Structure 1
Amino acid sequence: MAGNPSLRRRYNNILEFSAVGPASSLSDMVFGFLEDHADESPESRFSSGDDCDYGDEEDSCDVEENKAYWEEQINLLQATICRTNSIESKIRQATKEALKETIISHCACGRSTVGGVCRNCLRREVCNRLINLGYDCSLCKSKWRSSSSIPAGEHTYLEVVDRSSSKRGEMRVVIELNFRAEFEMARASEDYNRLISRLPEVFVGKTERLGNVIKILCSAAKKCMKEKNMHLGPWRKYKYMQAKWLGKCERSTPAPLPVSYSDRPTKPRASMLTFDLLEAMPMSALVQVV
């Protein structure tokens, strides 16, 4: 990452959400709405947008209604992401610092990547740094079988388990280092892309908050594809996204990266190609050569 300024700038700017001041009445209403309807499906939550028959041009939604729908999604998304508790804030700040301090000259796995580090090695290094700071952080690998609605798949992410509050109980905080890219679509509409641009590059939040975020985004993806009269891929559906981060997973602790793969200076090795024979040769031998 040290050799790639653009990648460094990218991670220096991660997790920089909008300034969160005292919650406005709109944010209170929106977040309360999400909490009260956490068990509802995206279709029922946003029924005003899904009641339209996009296959029939005569019954298409009004332009103003469509504009209002996307503005509502932006407000919902921003309110959900910005509302955070003290534990999430501490883990988010620790993750940000870990990414800033993580400088790997090349991957321990030996892969050739842009910027000198692959996502797997970066994920391992960030996990180890959080463990060193005292967090119960693990690599989580989720796997799920195919069903009638979604294909089989697997996904790896970071997770911190916090048990500091006996009253609140165990809290799972998900860390996804490539969050925005998980929801980007090649043929998305301008409205959908504008919504996705509000996402952080790295997501750090409890599982309940993540569940609300992916409900908003998956509902918006469905709406986007209907507007363009295109089929929504099964890997874009809520159940598929839910399986990535909110299903069963295998937790493991990564081994530290070898010292030689960090940014620590290494002792240069002598090479016969650069060795100056004249400087190393004794004077008596030099006279004989001359």
Structure 2
Amino acid sequence: IIMGTTSISRVARYLPVGFRRELSRKKLQQFADNNLVDVEFEFLDDSDANLGDSSSSSNDSHLDIEDDDDDESSQKVHAGTSNIEENRNFWEDQLQLLQTNVYKISAVELSLRNATQEAIEEIDRSEIECSCSRQIKGSSARECRNCFMRQVSRCLQNAGFNSSICNTKWTSSHNLQSGEHTFLDVIHSTSKQKSDVRVIIELNFRSQFEMGKASEDYNNLVRKLPEMYVGKVERLRNIIKIMCMVAKRCLKENKMHIGPWRKQKYMQAKWLGPCKRNTSTNSLSMGYSQTISSKQKVKASMLTVDLLDKIPNIHCTAIEVV
């Protein structure tokens, strides 16, 4: 009904000026019916335009929401990428520092390393048996850490070096667990103007830093360590600092607790703490569990001692006891 009225009004509005008013209702209705289709199309066009506007606005809002989501996801991706890049740079920097301290060696250190390597080869050729009481008879000296260090120290002394067996021992404190360690060192005298140079020799150096559940980045640094360390104290201190820092980083990435024996202070106490030097290469002077048992004296009562001392020539008649 509304559309019909509107159509009539709109048709009347657009009637020609010369149109006669006495047209019959039938003709007017026929005219309106003929143009009703155009009017309906006009209304549909308007509604379609409104629907288009509303749909476009909703699409715009939807796009805005998607843009916000894209921004958040891009920020997360950027943060993840930066973390990966930072982690890679950290391990590359530590690897470079480690290689600098491992391969930078002086003439004194090189000479001692060659002499130590020759001593080890000589021990392997000689097949010296272990002389420690704690080891099974027949095992080689290479299999016993104590005998191995003693033989290496003896060979270095025969080569003219001031070699000794060092033992460090420390008590527990607030952030340090008690422990002890044994290694070799050589005191090299340069000249009267300069102080003596101490060179640390650790025959099993790489194994001191190995971990069971370590990452590939950490194991890559461990593989760069020498199996046997022969070097100055300053270089050893730098290597310990680097390895303890990367060990802490590795365990943190794996969400594991770092043991007290992995901390830098504990590792430094092994080689850099106060130690006792022993230049003797005898097995009994190593300070281990082997001891010398003296011959026991004959025990006697005080009465017997007094009688023997005071009356040495006394004679007693034997009495038969029934």
Smaller-chain TM-score bracket: 0.5 to 0.7
Aligned to 2:129: 106
Q: In the alignment, is the contact (CA less than 8 A) between 2:130 and 2:139 conserved in 1?
A: no
* Equivalent-residue separation in structure 2 for 1:64 and 1:165 (angstroms): 49
For this pair of structures, how many residues does the alignment match? 201
Q: Could you say if the C-alpha distance between residues 209 and 113 of structure 1 is closer, same or farther in structure 2, counting changes exceeding 3 Å?
A: farther
Q: 3-state SS of the aligned residue for 1:62?
A: helix
Q: 1:236 aligns with which of 262, 270, 281?
A: 262
Deviation at 1:183, TM superposition (A): 0.5
5+ residue gaps, structure 1, are 1-58, 259-290
| CA deviation map 1:38-68 (0-9, x unaligned) | xxxxxxxxxxxxxxxxxxxxx8871111111
Matched, 1:84 2:105: yes
Greater RCO (Cα-Cα under 8 Å, separation 6 or more) = 1
Correspondence 1:6-45 to 2 at 5 A: none
Q: In the alignment, is the contact (CA less than 8 A) between 1:125 and 1:256 conserved in 2?
A: no
TM-score normalised by the chain length of structure 1: 0.65
Deviation at 1:170, TM superposition (A): 1.3
Aligned to 2:188: 162
5+ residue gaps, structure 2, are 1-78, 285-322
Q: Which amino acid aligns with 2:193?
A: K
Aligned to 1:202: 228
Q: Which amino acid aligns with 2:151?
A: E
Q: Which amino acid aligns with 2:244?
A: C
For the pair shown, the structure with the greater C-alpha radius of gyration is 2
Aligned to 1:285: none
Q: In the alignment, is the contact (CA less than 8 A) between 1:142 and 1:155 conserved in 2?
A: yes
Q: In the alignment, is the contact (CA less than 8 A) between 2:109 and 2:230 conserved in 1?
A: yes
Aligned to 1:227: 253
Q: Which amino acid aligns with 1:82?
A: Y
TM-score normalised by the chain length of structure 2: 0.59
Deviation at 1:148, TM superposition (A): 1.1
Q: 1:68 aligns with which of 86, 89, 93?
A: 89
* Equivalent-residue separation in structure 1 for 2:155 and 2:187 (angstroms): 15
* Equivalent-residue separation in structure 1 for 2:209 and 2:215 (angstroms): 13
Deviation at 1:253, TM superposition (A): 1.8
Aligned to 1:192: 218
Correspondence 1:123-202 to 2 at 5 A: 123-202=149-228
Q: In the alignment, is the contact (CA less than 8 A) between 1:128 and 1:256 conserved in 2?
A: no
Aligned-pair RMSD on alpha carbons? 2.1
